[in-house]
Structure 1
Amino acid sequence: MPLFDASSIIHAWDNYPPELFPPLWDWLGQEIADGNLAIPGVALEEVGKKAPECAAWLKGNDITVFPLTSEVLVESLRIKHLLGIEEDQYHTKGVGENDIFIIATASVNGLTLISDEGRQFGKPDILAKYKIPAVCELGDVGVTCINFLQLIRNSGAVFKS
C-alpha cells in the first residue's frame, strides 16, 4: 500500500483539482476505500494546515491514517542519527522532523512512499541536506519513493470523461 507524503497529495490537489479531474478523484477515492492508499497522521496534519479542503476530502473518504508508534519513533531516531542531525538542528535545505516521521512510518510498515519533493541530482555532501526522496534512497533506509504521477502510471489506471 502506498503512503502519501503531504507534498504529494497537496501537489495532486493543486495541479489536478477535483472539479477539473473528477475521474482521477473518483479513482483515488475508490483506492482509499479499498485500503490501497494511506497517510501518516503527521502528514495529514500538514495537509490540514496547507490545504484544508484536501484534508477534509481525505477524511471524508476515510483514508487509513498511520499513527506515530513507538516503533516509528525508534526508526525516526535511527534515521535522524544516520543523517547526522543532532537534537533539533535540522538543516533548512533538508528533511524536517515530520519528514523523518513520514519516512520512518513507510520503513516500519514496509510501504512505498509517495512524495513530490524535488529529486536531488548530484546529492549534497551533507546528509542533513537530503530531501525525502534522497533519504529514502539511502541503503540504510531503503524505502521505495515514487511521485504522484508514478503512482498513476504504476496503477495502470486510465481516466476518461
Structure 2
Amino acid sequence: MQVFDASSMIYAWDNYPIRQFPGLWEWMATQAEERLLVMPRVAFEEVAHKAPDCGKWLKNNDLKLIEISNAILQDALRIKHLLGIVGDQYRSGVGENDLLIIATARQHNAELVSDERKQTALPKELPNYKIPAVCGMAEVSVPCISFIEFIKRADVVFG
C-alpha cells in the first residue's frame, strides 16, 4: 500500500492530464479501488483545495481516506519532538500536516509517495528537514518515493 502526499497527487494531476494520459488514471483508479493507494484526509483536503478537479476525481474513484487516529497523532507528536519543533514554531521544513502524513504512513507500515524536494545536503537544523529527510531518519524510517519512482517501479505500460 502507498500513502500519497498531496504534493504527489497534485504533481501527477498537473503533469499527466487525464485527457492525455487516460490509461495512467484508469490504473490509478484501480489502485485506489484495491486500496493499494490511499491518502490521509489532511492530504486529500489539501488536494481538493489546490486542485478541485483532482479532488473530485479522487472522490468519484472511491479513494480511501485515512482519518487521523490517536496513534497517528501521538506518532506525529513524537516526530515533532525528534525534530526539535516547539509549539507552532515550524521553520522551512515539515509542517503539521506533513508530520501527520508521515505518521500515517508509519502507522500503516506503508510507503509514502511524496514529491516534496529531496535535500541533497541535509540542513544543519532538524526543523528544516523536508518530508523525504524526515522519512529517512532512523527514528522514523518510512520508505519515501516520488510519483515517477512509483510509476517506474509499477512497471505498467499505459497505452
TM-score bucket (shorter structure): over 0.9
What code does the residue aligned with 1:106 have?
A
* Mapped partners of 1:71, 1:50: distance in 2: 28
Query: What is the total number of aligned residue pairs between the two structures?
Result: 159
RMSD: 0.6
**Corresponding residue for 2:2?**
2
**Corresponding residue for 2:69?**
69
Query: Structure 1: any 5+ residue segments left out of the alignment?
Result: none
**Corresponding residue for 1:26?**
26
* Mapped partners of 1:115, 1:107: distance in 2: 14
CA drift of 1:31 comes to: 1.0
Identity across aligned pairs (percent)? Answer: 50
CA drift of 1:9 comes to: 0.3
Structure 1 residue matching 2:140: 3-state secondary structure = coil
What code does the residue aligned with 1:63 have?
L
**Corresponding residue for 2:95?**
96
**Corresponding residue for 1:113?**
112
**Corresponding residue for 2:126?**
127
**Corresponding residue for 1:13?**
13
**Corresponding residue for 2:53?**
53
**When the two structures are superposed, what TM-score results if normalisation uses the length of structure 1?**
0.97
Structure 2 residue matching 1:7: 3-state secondary structure = helix
* Mapped partners of 2:67, 2:29: distance in 1: 21
Q: Does 1:156 align with 2:144?
A: no
What code does the residue aligned with 1:130 have?
Y
* Mapped partners of 1:108, 1:31: distance in 2: 20
**Corresponding residue for 1:84?**
84
**Corresponding residue for 1:136?**
135
* Mapped partners of 2:86, 2:27: distance in 1: 42
**When the two structures are superposed, what TM-score results if normalisation uses the length of structure 2?**
0.99
